[in-house]
Structure 1
């Protein structure tokens, strides 16, 4: 999958990790770590469902670790303090950079049921009533962002920083590092620490523009037109839960939309034996898991699952080789 106009993102370096920490983990316990967007109260049923699935598949006790910081999840996976993690593409790649034993078990397919369309979208969004200010010659222009305030998700988020920041940097002929804090290209730079958090910064008026993705926001609203390109219109639903409950009915429009490879459920292979890995993959790719609405909810469902069941979406086994495009995007 190609992603154009992307520069490598500078991330906070963490110390290298060996398998020694992982080896100390109790053999009868597995810890699963979640990124901030999957650590919310609303996602608790999903986390519990994943815990039960892994326990049933392996017979081992499962502990769940929620986070409010991407780097905490990355460090947990790289060090072996957590043996399994639901990671974003960038978080996975960074964890693997720190420890080559981190590897993907599964991702979820596209609507075709294959990896051909196994991607989601990253956006640069502005309030709908402000969109005219970002147009030039009838087209949306990222050069109009200079001097504005922006909300990213986190410096280690693929769709919430790396991809949109790379595009802004290229179009404005600046370095990505110039976009990480206010006072240089942007007047102010905020980090929402989750995709909904970044959207809140936009809808609350704390940021002029915000980066976030579709998979984490469709739990709070829907797109009213083509979500695959600039001009995509996202509207917060009338019954949106926290943290977007105060933004109900508000709309944002995408200045740009970029495809991003689907996220993996990753494993630290030095801490989880091959037999257990195979059991987890078999359980996740089973028909019963595909039909479980806690994992794949129907479009418009009142209670959103981990992902939305469109077409033939299901979990599918992948290796690190499939993530070569993301490694290239991030310069790893």
Structure 2
């Protein structure tokens, strides 16, 4: 009798579990049905406590527009964020162009919602910058005939962000391969060869965020590091030169938040600066539904959001933020084809 009771209980539990998993998840056409919660998944770069006010404000305006609850999902890994969206477990994400290209390739229901413009308020200058940096005391070691040269990074300890990062891997890797593949010994150099030591680099590290990659450099774990300007601008300031100029020196602010709080005052030099297409907000249309997609696209690209100082933080305010207002920055609609230059890096 006891065994029969346990069997009945087990079967009942499985039945309830399957019903719960299927409830509200798929419609008659096999697509996900929109529910009363909008889930936003964030990359590690935007998951820090210093970005909480930006995340909360974005969640607030979405709730007001849709009358739905917003839940934020913070991550420590690019792949987790991408797969969460791909597998229909999130409605929205803010991700780099490479992450979007990967997600869209796996699930074509994932489409760009909006992208932040450049200072002109258009897509003409909607770029940020991919950096290769070295510790300031070592900068002369990366020059040939007085100029910074890629040849000098051979056999060094290299830190990237993630192999799904646009500016922290995809773009710098393309530049590195383009340079070294002209040499006979590296004629067959490929992305995979840059993901581990023994081919071009003596050792390869992944910081799992732009902040983590920068700290790999400043803590002495790496000789050269790839990371981007926008992901570290809350923590560093120009010490010598101009913003986003090769040879410029940046210094970690004395009051920098984690993970830079252990390397305050440290300085690094930019040996390479490359413009990169701005990162989009993207949506899984099978999960969020067309109606909410349209509502949010209209909201994001509105003057109301462009003038919201908790989303586009005035640069002179000294406050941390996800986006900054220097002139006419705002969100703009963007077509999938806008990201083709990033797709072509893999061809």
- TM-score w.r.t. the length of structure 1 is 0.90
Bigger CA drift: 231-240 or 156-165?
Answer: 231-240
Cα distance, 1:315 vs. partner? 0.9
What are the Cα deviations for residues 31-66 of structure 1, in whole angstroms up to 9, with x where unaligned?
A: 110001011122122111111111111111211111
Secondary structure, in 3 states, of the residue corresponding to 2:129?
strand
Cα distance, 1:26 vs. partner? 5.3
CA distance in 1, matches of 2:264, 2:338: 38
Choose the corresponding residue for 1:176, options 175, 191, 203. 191
Q: Which 4+ residue blocks in structure 1 deviate beyond 6 angstroms? A: none
Residue ranges of structure 2 left out of the alignment (5+ in a row): 1-24, 182-188
Residue of structure 1 in register with 2:48 after alignment: 40
CA distance in 1, matches of 2:151, 2:26: 48
Alignment of 1:135-150 (within 5 A): 135-150=143-158
Secondary structure, in 3 states, of the residue corresponding to 1:165?
helix
- Please state if 1:199 is matched with 2:251: no
Residue of structure 2 in register with 1:318 after alignment: 334
Bigger CA drift: 67-76 or 301-310?
Answer: 301-310
Cα distance, 1:285 vs. partner? 2.1
- Please state if 1:104 is matched with 2:119: no
- Please state if 1:151 is matched with 2:151: no
Residue of structure 2 in register with 1:71 after alignment: 79
- TM-score w.r.t. the length of structure 2 is 0.86
Secondary structure, in 3 states, of the residue corresponding to 2:287?
coil
Residue of structure 1 in register with 2:139 after alignment: 131
Cα distance, 1:91 vs. partner? 0.6
Cα distance, 1:24 vs. partner? 4.4
What are the Cα deviations for residues 131-178 of structure 1, in whole angstroms up to 9, with x where unaligned?
A: 100100111111111111011001110100111112112212232221
Alignment of 1:1-332 (within 5 A): 23-24=31-32, 27-173=35-181, 174-223=189-238, 224-331=240-347
Give the structure with higher Rg (CA): 2
CA contact (8 A) 1:150 1:209 kept: yes
Cα distance, 1:214 vs. partner? 0.3
Give the root-mean-square deviation of aligned CA atoms: 1.8
Bigger CA drift: 284-293 or 119-128?
Answer: 284-293
What are the Cα deviations for residues 117-142 of structure 1, in whole angstroms up to 9, with x where unaligned?
A: 00000011001111100100111111
Secondary structure, in 3 states, of the residue corresponding to 1:252?
strand
Greater fraction helix: 2
